[in-house]
Amino acid sequence: MRLKIKAKYEGRLVGDFEELVRKARDQVLTSSVSAHLEDESRFRAGELRVQLMIFERYSMTGENRLSLSLLLIEEAGGAKLSAIASGGSRGLFFKINTFGEEAFLDTLGPFIKKYS
């Protein structure tokens, strides 16, 4: 058994920045009936664009709520993506499992595969 401490993905996506933001948002929101966009921030510095989106959903496995943070930073021909899921562990002082977090992160799989 492999012990996994965090549910995280970082990589490069290819495509129009606005389309990547829209498709990432749609992918997460259609992945679960309880998934919703908690809040988002958008910044622009000259030609650089940055989009931060925080999603939340209910995990039946863990009987708790999970969050998924997506950070997209525009670069030539695409964007850098950092996706981090959190909130699924039931441990008081340390993480016992990350099943729910990993499942929430995995909802991005088709999107990442298509735009990587």
Number of residues that this document lists for the chain: 116
What's the pTM value of the predicted model, to 2 decimals? 0.87
The torsion defined by the Cα of 60, 29, 42 and 111, in degrees rounded to 10, comes to 100
CATH of domain 7-99: 3.40.1000.10
Q: Which two tokens stand for residue 31?
A: 């992945």
pLDDT tens-digit profile of 77-108?
999 999 999 986 666 666 666 678 888 999 99
pLDDT tens-digit profile of 22-63?
999 999 999 999 999 999 999 999 989 999 999 999 987 767
Q: If we measure between CA atoms, which residue out of 22, 2, 20 comes closest to residue 11?
A: 20
